[in-house]
Structure 1
Amino acid sequence: MIPCLTIGPKITMANKMNKMRKGLEVITGQHKEFKLTECTNANEQTVTDVRETSSKLERHIVGRTKEKDKILAYLSESMINEITVLPIYGIGGLGKTTLAKMVYNSPQFKEYSQVWVYVSQTFDLKKIGNSIISQLSEKNREIAYTEKQMIDNYLQKLLANKNILIVLDDLWENNKSHLEELLGMLKVGESGKVVVVVTTRYEDIAKKICTIQPHKLAPLKDDECWTIIKQKSDFESRYDQQELRHIGKDIASKCRGVALAAQSLGHMLHSLPFDE
């Protein structure tokens, strides 16, 4: 019976690790299925989009402070033209939207009028224009202009003589003429200044829309993924920290620096106590 007592916990841990590895395989498979790679052409994407984002910043962010400071410093040096466009690009789940939120909520832009637009896979120039108008104008929040000329005219009035920060989150549009039309809609002339931060999964889109060097988002380090896993698994309040640490660090090394994978696996660990 004594050998059974010794082997039993090892088998349980092995089973837990196997579950976690299978979970990681599922997440990795989703990345492949949804074509979340840097070299993928955006026009190949056919997945129905159900996600939406906002500018609200999470309380505990891991590993992006240096990149935020770098972007803020770069923008500060580069905002000499009427419109400055800085894209942040990288595969899905790395944390592009989170980094954009950190820039958006920075004190550096506290004197700016601010707009957050979730663009999505369906590029709709009128929808983008109406979203900007509704966020900048108290009088026109319930009005949706149907003609592009009306949108352009009203945007010129709203943006004139102002400093504006606009985040265009999750841009998939690859047509250069459409992107030029978007930028043209946001230009206000010498009387104002518009700073645009764009997030996209694709380097070619970043290069087409940028006015300054795009920022390629690097993967997180393994220890940063482990920190995220600990946060999401409520590590500090658990009694099985020794077992969880062994599994968590092993899994963190397989996240490939993808923050979303670490978050998902942390939540999965949270629901898998070792005394099941």
Structure 2
Amino acid sequence: MGGMGKTTLAQLVYNDENVKSHFDKRIWVCVSDPFEEIKIAQAIIEEIDKDNSSKSSNVLQTLTQCIDKLIEGKKFLLVLDDVWSPNSYQWEELIKPLRNGGIGSRILVTTRKEEVVTLMKATTQLIHLKELGEAFCLSLFYYSADMDESSVSTEFKNIGSEIVKRCNGLPLAAKTLGSLMRNKKKIHEWQAVLKSKTWELKEIQQDVFRPLLLSYHDLSPATKRCLLYCVTFPKDYVYNRNCLIELWMSQDYLNVKESKEKIVVGQNYFDDLAMRSFFQDIEDVQFEYGNIKCKIHDIVHDFLRYLTENECLILDFELDASKRRDVSKDKVHHLTLVHATEGDSLQTFLPNYKKLRTLIAIQSSEYSIGPIFELIVQLKCLRTLDLRGWRGKGCLKEIPETIGGLIHLRSARLDQFVVPIIGGDEGNKLEHLKDLNQLQGTLAIHILGNPNMAENAAAIMVNKAHLLELRLEFYSIDEGKHGEIMNGLEPHPDLESLYI
């Protein structure tokens, strides 16, 4: 079952100090469904050598040859987490280069399916995780509730024991229910959880959904909306808290007017959801002071999909068309495109999603996005547009004036702002930013050569009071130009983070 603790146990092994010292390389890959050997191979290379250019290849042979060289003679531990449905050919192709590792290398797999174990011809070192015993479930429940189990009164302890029995030994359920009880200090509040009608619902897809539903119903309406929006992204997606808050702002979920107030409210909502165990694997973001990243457990993701029904749709164009979800286009408000290409009939189906409020592209094509953008501007309900996933040559070179027709658009996440080398009238200029004083969140500027600094350029950035982070990347700048350029990019004093 999901929520049994397979990934948690694998993480404990992976992060054990003795394990770290025993292997030359440790590699962790989230697999999920479907099993895509090219994506897994790319992830393996990324984990071993982040700067290796081969990781961007979509040719499996190129990737496996690279893996072969990177691990040759090295004793490695590879964790493949949450494996579902590989076929024998996919697995054989992936395992070939891994046989080149040093003696003592190990592959650790977590899966819900016995067929996967058989297919992989695993060793006899198979661990069937069983349900937690009641004592362990109680311990996890009280820990998550931030209570000292030894000092709990008899009355609370009796009700707590009955609640924990409903967990059926699932750690995720015990943790979720414990987090729910953290702010409930009165006996009638505990009794209400125990006697909730939610426990009797027949149509719930999985047992672990009932504790999650109890915790969900305990949220404020605004926090519920923010949580449900997270299912706009696929499983195993790494969420960035600041980006998530900006997305909530663009959907008008935060119920306050001022941008600074919205950020504080969004942080409070995020902290509440994290405290209730809806987020996991929370850690600081390198180079971004005060920002954090996190993930959502795949069972929680399934639960959110169950609640949103057809409101959020993720279309992965590397899947067969028969495997893509066919839903009523009128119901879809949030659409995420994964691995989309110019030839994927986007021009045919995109205009049909008239009520879209969110459009996001992830890991999409290098083909031109220009013709697609003309379709996007017809989606008049759009509030959030994120095309940063449209990579390489296909990224947006300029923003067409027709974007002005999207009168509800609140967040446009396109590409860094690139200032080309001097020459001709084409391309971005720094002074083009001068009047864009409502820019919020993060702005990244890539300056590829010595830019023309207009006489009135001194106020390019200083009036942008809503920017929290400014990222400046310079390439081939004459040393004598440094002072002139930096003076022209003086930020507003409220800026929180500057990266040069």
TM-score for the superposition, normalised by structure 1: 0.61
Q: CA deviation at 1:240?
A: 6.6
Q: CA deviation at 1:118?
A: 0.5
Instruction: Give the structure 2 partner of residue 153 of structure 1.
Output: 65
SS in structure 1 at match of 2:163: helix
- CA offsets 1:98-123 (integer angstroms, 9 cap, x no match): 11112112213423110010001121
Q: Are the structure 2 counterparts of residues 210 and 244 from structure 1 closer, same or farther at C-alpha, using a change threshold of 3 Å?
A: farther
CA distance in 2, matches of 1:141, 1:259: 41
Q: Are the structure 2 counterparts of residues 244 and 134 from structure 1 closer, same or farther at C-alpha, using a change threshold of 3 Å?
A: same
> Among residues 179, 184, 196, which one is paired with 2:96 in the alignment?
184
Higher mean displacement: 211-220 or 232-241: 232-241
CA distance in 2, matches of 1:248, 1:141: 54
CA distance in 2, matches of 1:176, 1:142: 25
CA distance in 2, matches of 1:164, 1:201: 24
CA distance in 2, matches of 1:172, 1:254: 28
Letter in 2 for 1:201: R
Query: Any residues of structure 2 matched to 1:103-182 within 5 Å, and which?
Result: 103-106=13-16, 107-112=18-23, 113-140=25-52, 143-182=55-94
- CA offsets 1:57-89 (integer angstroms, 9 cap, x no match): xxxxxxxxxxxxxxxxxxxxxxxxxxxxxxxxx
| CA RMSD of superposed structures (Å) | 2.4
Instruction: Give the structure 2 partner of residue 209 of structure 1.
Output: 120
Instruction: Give the structure 1 partner of residue 134 of structure 2.
Output: 222
Instruction: Give the structure 1 partner of residue 180 of structure 2.
Output: 268
> Among residues 151, 155, 169, which one is paired with 1:257 in the alignment?
169
| Paired-residue identity, % | 31
Higher mean displacement: 176-185 or 230-239: 230-239
Q: CA deviation at 1:262?
A: 0.5
Instruction: Give the structure 2 partner of residue 195 of structure 1.
Output: 106
Instruction: Give the structure 2 partner of residue 20 of structure 1.
Output: none
Higher Rg of the two aligned structures: 2
CA distance in 2, matches of 1:217, 1:243: 32
> Among residues 74, 79, 94, which one is paired with 2:4 in the alignment?
94
Q: CA deviation at 1:247?
A: 1.5
CA distance in 1, matches of 2:122, 2:9: 19
Q: Are the structure 2 counterparts of residues 223 and 237 from structure 1 closer, same or farther at C-alpha, using a change threshold of 3 Å?
A: closer
TM-score for the superposition, normalised by structure 2: 0.35
- CA offsets 1:195-236 (integer angstroms, 9 cap, x no match): 110000111212221431221111110110000100011112
Letter in 2 for 1:156: D
Q: Are the structure 2 counterparts of residues 142 and 185 from structure 1 closer, same or farther at C-alpha, using a change threshold of 3 Å?
A: closer
Letter in 2 for 1:100: A
Q: CA deviation at 1:146?
A: 1.3
CA distance in 2, matches of 1:158, 1:100: 24
CA distance in 1, matches of 2:36, 2:45: 14
Q: CA deviation at 1:192?
A: 4.8
Checking the alignment, whether the CA contact within 8 Å between 1:96 and 1:199 is kept in structure 2 is yes
Letter in 2 for 1:263: K
CA distance in 2, matches of 1:210, 1:270: 45
Higher mean displacement: 166-175 or 202-211: 202-211
CA distance in 1, matches of 2:54, 2:153: 52
Greater relative contact order: 1 or 2 (C-alpha under 8 angstroms, separation 6 or more)?
1
Q: CA deviation at 1:143?
A: 4.2
Instruction: Give the structure 2 partner of residue 22 of structure 1.
Output: none
Aligned length, in residue pairs: 185
Instruction: Give the structure 1 partner of residue 145 of structure 2.
Output: 233
CA distance in 2, matches of 1:148, 1:168: 18
Q: Are the structure 2 counterparts of residues 232 and 141 from structure 1 closer, same or farther at C-alpha, using a change threshold of 3 Å?
A: farther
CA distance in 1, matches of 2:94, 2:159: 47
- CA offsets 1:227-254 (integer angstroms, 9 cap, x no match): 0100011112999744331211112223
Letter in 1 for 2:85: E
CA distance in 1, matches of 2:98, 2:33: 20
CA distance in 1, matches of 2:38, 2:85: 14
Checking the alignment, whether the CA contact within 8 Å between 1:167 and 1:198 is kept in structure 2 is yes
